[in-house]
């Protein structure tokens, strides 16, 4: 593999936490990004939504500021979702953001703000398209269209990576049907460092860097569309929603508690995976307060405990009923939220432990180690009920 691509992969793994953004003209209706499909809205009614798209409060630097406050290191944003509307100034269609009353190229503004703040930017792009006439009638022409758009995105905006979704619409002979390997090679000819994710829920192709899990922890399949176990040659990323919606949904108030979100992040890192946590901005260009508050709380936790997340590796123990575990060269980090019986945590530990302390406060922790059996003496209540991290020096 190209050395520069290898380096981009390692840097991406170290980031561990990113913001997924689902934003499009569907946001105007406030019923999620599948609204056109689920409510069988004809194109003649759906397309005119673009005439109402005018997010006067959109400010790329404010979004990036929130990302930084949340302790996130990258953004993956919808350049085009299944509805086919382009959130950037594509030369291959008129169905795009620069032809709305807003007129501005949102993706360009975000790319500039990210570059300034050293936040990586990836583009979500859906090859599945509910509006392009050729999608149903002329596969050769449609392939030329969508390959052209992804190449255009890479040439024009220089993203860190491309995140494809919707190939599951035609799952047979995936590579041959969508001409994926051919596209990937053309993309890498433009940018050898480009990372590629494809949310097709099949075994990753050799030219794909990131294997995705959707609404599931890495390696789990509770929702039924993540059947493939983690691939040894791929980076792993789970994408999840804060409530139950990707695109803005005004009626979805089932927001996950901050503690649950913090634990999900730790569980992803514990499984050697990144977490891509979603927001669906409102039609005015702002991110709903319930989501901002939760992200800022995660950032507060990360400021004290980030050493146990960023640039760590997972898969330390076979199972952790008490929480999750990560490691770096000199430490094992125990992420605790389920207190063990008698407040004694017993671990099989072949390495000699030199010290044990709470990561957030550096306060020492009582422990004893007899050969390969390590016992930690925990207090009756854990110092941080959301997730208390113990740093073991090895």
Which residues sit at the interface with ligand H79, rule CB under 6 A? Answer: 33-34, 165, 214, 239, 246
Minimum distance, C-beta of residue 132 to ligand H79, in the bound complex (Å): 17
Question: Which residue number, 125 or 160, has a Cβ lying nearer to ligand H79?
Answer: 125
Of the two residues 268 and 349, which places its CB atom closer to ligand H79 in the complex?
Answer: 268
Please report how close the Cβ of residue 124 comes to ligand H79 at its closest, in angstroms: 7
What's the closest the beta carbon of residue 317 comes to ligand H79, in angstroms? 30
At its nearest, how many Å lie between ligand H79 and the CB of residue 289? 23
Which residue lies nearer to ligand H79 by CB, 33 or 237? 33
- For the bound state, the minimum distance from the C-beta of residue 21 to ligand H79, rounded and expressed in Å, comes to 11
**Which of 118, 72, 15, 121 lies closest to 301, judged by CA?**
72
Q: Which of 9, 73, 20, 67 is nearest to 272 (CA)?
A: 9
Decide whether 34 or 317 has the Cβ nearer to ligand H79: 34
Q: How far apart are CA 265 and CA 283, in angstroms?
A: 28
Residues 6+ apart with CB under 8 A from 176: none
In whole angstroms, what is the distance from residue 42 CA to residue 298 CA? 40
Q: Least distance from C-beta 200 to ligand H79, angstroms?
A: 11
Question: Which residue number, 63 or 213, has a Cβ lying nearer to ligand H79?
Answer: 213
**In this complex, which beta carbon is closest to ligand H79, that of residue 20 or of residue 301?**
20
In the bound complex, what is the minimum distance in angstroms from residue 214's beta carbon to ligand H79? 6
| Min CB(61)–ligand H79 separation in Å | 25
Q: Report the residue closest to ligand H79, judged by CB.
A: 246
Nearer to ligand H79, 280 or 314 (CB): 280
Cβ at position 363, least distance to ligand H79 in Å: 41
- State whether residue 389 is helix, strand or coil: strand
Kindly report the three-state secondary structure assignment for every residue of 159-207: CCEEEECCHHHCCCCHHHHHCHHHHHHHHHHHCCCCEEEECCCCCCCCC
**Both tokens of residue 337?**
């939220």
Q: Is 59 left (phi over 0), alpha (psi -120 to 50) or beta?
A: beta
Nearest C-alpha neighbor of 187 from the set 217, 224, 149: 149
CB of 266 to ligand H79, least distance (A): 22
* Residue recorded with tokens 């990004």: 33
Question: Which positions ≥6 away from 89 have C-beta within 8 Å?
Answer: 96, 97, 98, 105, 107, 108
Helix ranges (DSSP H) in the chain: 3-15, 35-38, 43-46, 60-69, 106-117, 134-137, 139-157, 174-178, 180-190, 258-270, 289-305
When the beta carbons of 34 and 142 are compared against ligand H79, the nearer one is 34
Closest CA to 97 of 111, 107, 82: 107
Q: Which is nearer to ligand H79, 220 or 372 (CB)?
A: 220
Nearer to ligand H79, 226 or 388 (CB): 226
Query: Which of 272, 247, 276, 70 lies closest to 160, judged by CA?
Result: 276
Both tokens of residue 194?
């480009």
The sheet carrying 388-393 orders its strands as 323-327, 331-336, 388-393, 355-358
**Residue from 305, 203, 314, 214 nearest 262 by CA:** 305
């Amino acid at each position: 593999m190209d050395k520069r691509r290898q380096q981009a992969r390692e840097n991406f793994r170290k980031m561990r936490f990113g913001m997924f953004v689902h934003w499009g003209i569907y946001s105007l209706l406030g019923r999620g990004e599948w609204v056109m499909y689920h409510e069988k809205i004809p194109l003649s009614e759906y397309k005119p939504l673009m005439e109402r798209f005018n997010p006067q409060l959109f400010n790329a630097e404010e979004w990036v500021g929130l990302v930084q406050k949340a302790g996130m290191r990258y953004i993956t944003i919808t350049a085009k979702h299944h509805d086919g509307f382009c959130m950037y100034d594509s030369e291959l269609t008129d169905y795009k953001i620069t032809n709305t009353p807003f007129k501005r190229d949102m993706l360009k503004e975000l790319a500039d703000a990210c570059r300034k703040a050293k936040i990586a930017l990836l583009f979500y792009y859906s090859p599945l398209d509910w509006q392009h006439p050729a999608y149903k009638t002329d596969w050769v022409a449609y392939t030329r269209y969508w390959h052209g758009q992804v190449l255009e995105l890479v040439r024009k905006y220089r993203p860190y990576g491309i995140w494809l979704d919707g190939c599951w619409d035609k799952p047979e002979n995936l590579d041959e049907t969508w001409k994926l390997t051919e596209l990937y090679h053309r993309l890498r000819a433009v940018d050898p460092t480009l990372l590629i994710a494809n949310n097709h829920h099949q075994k990753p192709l050799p030219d794909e860097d990131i294997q995705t899990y959707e609404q599931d922890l890495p390696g789990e399949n509770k929702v039924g569309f993540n059947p493939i176990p983690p691939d040894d040659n791929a980076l792993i990323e789970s994408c999840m929603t804060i409530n139950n919606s990707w695109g803005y949904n005004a009626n979805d108030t089932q927001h996950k508690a901050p503690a649950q979100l913090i634990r999900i992040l730790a569980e992803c890192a514990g499984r050697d995976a990144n977490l891509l946590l979603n927001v669906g901005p409102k039609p005015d260009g702002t991110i709903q307060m319930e989501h901002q508050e939760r992200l800022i709380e995660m950032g507060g936790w990360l400021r004290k405990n980030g050493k146990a997340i960023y640039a760590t590796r997972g898969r330390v123990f076979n199972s952790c009923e008490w929480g999750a575990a990560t490691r770096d060269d000199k430490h094992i980090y125990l992420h605790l939220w389920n207190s063990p019986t008698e407040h004694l945590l017993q671990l099989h530990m072949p390495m000699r432990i030199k010290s044990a302390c709470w990561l957030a406060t550096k306060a020492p922790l009582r422990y004893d180690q007899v050969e390969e059996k390590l016992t930690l003496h925990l207090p009756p209540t854990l110092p941080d009920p959301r997730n208390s991290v113990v740093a073991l020096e090895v």
